[in-house]
Structure 1
Amino acid sequence: MPAMRRGWLTLAGAGLAIACLVLFSRQVAGLVSDGSIDLLGALPQLVPASCAFLVAYAAFASGWHALLLAGRVPASWRVSSGIFATTQFGKYLPGNVGHHLGRVALAASYGFPGATVVATMVVEAGLVVAWMAVLGLPLLEFWLGRLDLDVPALVTALAGAGILLGGASVVLHKQRRHPRIAALLEAVDPLLRPDRRSKGLLAVSAALILAGIVLSALSLSLLDPGGTLLSFDAFPITLGLFACAWLLGFVTPGAPAGIGIRELMLTEGLTPLVGREQAVVIALTFRILSTGSDLLVFLAGLGMLSGARRRHPG
């Protein structure tokens, strides 16, 4: 993709994020001025929700560590998790790619082979996107039901599978025309065609990433003081909503940490479940929680890497 086109996409993504953030901020300001919401009342839910979010972080870091082991990188859990944790705060930099670039650079400073690190991150992103897409299907069925469209769950599942397969087909087709995609797929290939040990590690990584996603959605649900989002009927919808909001923020270039976009989507999605006022409070509190947790994880990562010996290849 030409640099000029990438620049325009990033600018458009940043504009979309700013517009969403302004709309969400106006909702918050309007409800606060009317006395319709009490932000201080949401603070007690922050403790259990933060615990779930931090455990989710550990699951994600462990998932990447398993991929490194599958790629024959002799990394300790402390160092790999420290790298993962330290660089996550980079997603708040303009462009929404700082955490990815930072992880590659920091891993290289500890002697990790760059091609393998990139390959593990591509597989990691693929697993996350695949899980998020699958977990987002209940939300699609929920909204189809609200539109009085009687669509069987099997049809919804098949449609989701078709979208995933279609996306994979596009990537494989573009492989012939784009050397960068071809190089990425070539680097990823050893991880996708591994021996029995690496197959097990790949499965462990997929399971840990799924656990991290579910725990993140649980953290969101725990912010509801009434407990509605924790119910058997509502949690799958909340999980799907979290997945869709994350995906939208992930694919939008120029939106640091998906800010604005995810809050607006969470507000709109949670409103049918808990009402507009409570949805705004939950979305705002979740952003505060996630940003605060990112900072804590960053500091923890620095502590994990302190004293670890850096080594350079060759």
Structure 2
Amino acid sequence: MTALAKRANMKKLAVWVGRFVLLAALIFLAFELRKHWSGISGWRPTGQDVALLFSLALIYALGLLLLAECWHWILKLFGTLHRKLAYASFLITQVAKYLPGNVAHLIGRGLYVRGNGLKDGHIVQATLLEMAIIPSGAIVAIMILGCAGQLGAVLPFIPIWLWWLGSFAILASSAIAVGLSDRLGLKLRPVLLDLSFSLGLSVLFMGLLGTVFAAIFLMLSPAPVAALAGSAILAWLVGYLTPGSPGGLGTREATLFALLSSLQMQDTALLAAALFRLVTVLGDLIAFLAGWLLFRNTDKGGT
């Protein structure tokens, strides 16, 4: 069997594993929903609640501009592309992540910017960088909260010293990689600075994502804000890394419920997870409309 055939089989295996995880998550959620239905079905949103949820969807849609800017900085490594075109390619294709496979938005972004001075190989590299940088932003945000001692309520089995040790290992390995690249004459420092800025944008987005979920949960019941935000970011990461899970559907909600079960507010956790999905889907649709109306007819070139 050739190496190419082996890689293809590994991809198929990963997709089937992801589908199994998705199915297990949906079954788990169905049982929990049945168990806690009386508490969830009794919630009656007020007009103020509806207004808050819509406002949070708008805030989430605005936050997606941080990731669009992150995408623009990644594309800048390979050529000159109008910022508005990069924004359009990100915002308009974002809703495609809900299609089966969870890759249509990535393919769509590449196709959207194709033929604008970027080689196909460069677009593939940019897509791979995006796939690495955005979840890396989630990891950094989680590590920051862990080192600050804010995740003990949902991850009590991880001591704070382990968060610090992990953060030190990440920073040390990054510094060693930069030093080695300089010694080898690769001159990667300018590129790494641009990528670091992109990473910073991703971290900011994750902070906003966590804040949106915390606001939803606090609308229903009081709880530790940082623990809520960290749980939302970690659940997003699990959903992102699950192959074949459209937009993290099912896996994100199951992870949120599992993390927040330690707070002994299962009814609230299930309802908050469902409302969080509603808010983010609405936010993605708002971002799609904004990208279509504001950036779709952008000319080529520029910055």
Say whether residues 1:248 and 2:238 are aligned partners: yes
Matches within 5 A, 1:195-214: 195=190, 201-214=194-207
Letter in 2 for 1:256: P
TM superposition shift of 1:113: 2.8
Q: Is the 8 A contact 1:110 1:309 kept in 2?
A: no
User: Paired residue for 2:188, among 193, 205, 221?
Assistant: 193
Moved more, 276-285 or 243-252: 243-252
Letter in 2 for 1:214: G
Unaligned runs of 5+ in 1: 170-188
Q: Is the 8 A contact 1:108 1:114 kept in 2?
A: yes
- CA–CA separation in structure 2 for the residues paired with 1:275 and 1:107: 45
Assess if the C-alpha contact under 8 Å between 1:49 and 1:218 holds in 2.
no
Cα RMSD, aligned residues only: 3.4
Name 1:267's counterpart in structure 2: 257
Q: How far did 1:48 drift?
A: 3.0
Question: Post-superposition shift, 1:260?
Answer: 0.5
TM-score, structure 1 normalization: 0.76
Q: Which residue number in structure 2 is paired with residue 103 of structure 1?
A: 109
Who is 2:181 aligned against? Answer: none
Percent of aligned pairs with the same amino acid: 22
Q: For each residue in 1:216-269, what CA deviation from the matched residue of structure 2 results, as whole angstroms up to 9, or x when unmatched? A: 11111111215735xxxx233223212221221122111111110100111222
Q: Which residue identity is paired with 1:217? A: G
How many pairs does the alignment contain? 282
Aligned partner of 1:217 among 207, 210, 222 = 210
What amino acid is aligned across from residue 214 of structure 2 in structure 1? Answer: S
Tell me the distance in 1 between the aligned counterparts of 2:103 and 2:154: 36
| Structural mapping, 1:278-289, within 5 Å | 278-289=268-279
CA contact (8 A) 1:37 1:281 kept: no
- Do residues 61 (structure 1) and 54 (structure 2) align? no
Give the Cα–Cα distance (whole angstroms) in 2 for the partners of residues 3 and 216 of structure 1: 34
- 1:115 corresponding residue in structure 2: 121
| Deviation at residue 130 of structure 1 after TM alignment | 2.5
Deviation at 1:212, TM superposition (A): 0.9
TM-score normalized by the length of structure 2 = 0.78
Task: Give the corresponding residue for 2:179.
Answer: none
Q: Which amino acid aligns with 2:100?
A: P
Amino acid across the alignment from 2:234: C
Distance in 2 (CA, whole Å) between partners of 1:146 and 1:74 is: 44
Q: Which amino acid aligns with 1:220?
A: F
Return the alpha-carbon distance in structure 2 between the equivalents of residues 67 and 102 of structure 1.
16
- Aligned mates of 1:194, 1:39 — CA distance in 2: 54
Contact in 2 for aligned 1:133/1:160 (Cα 8 Å): no
1:10 is aligned, of 10, 15, 20, to: 15
Which residues of 2 match residues 285-304 of structure 1 at below 5 A?
285-304=275-294
* Aligned residue identity for 1:13: G
CA change 1:199–1:268 in 2 (3 A) is closer
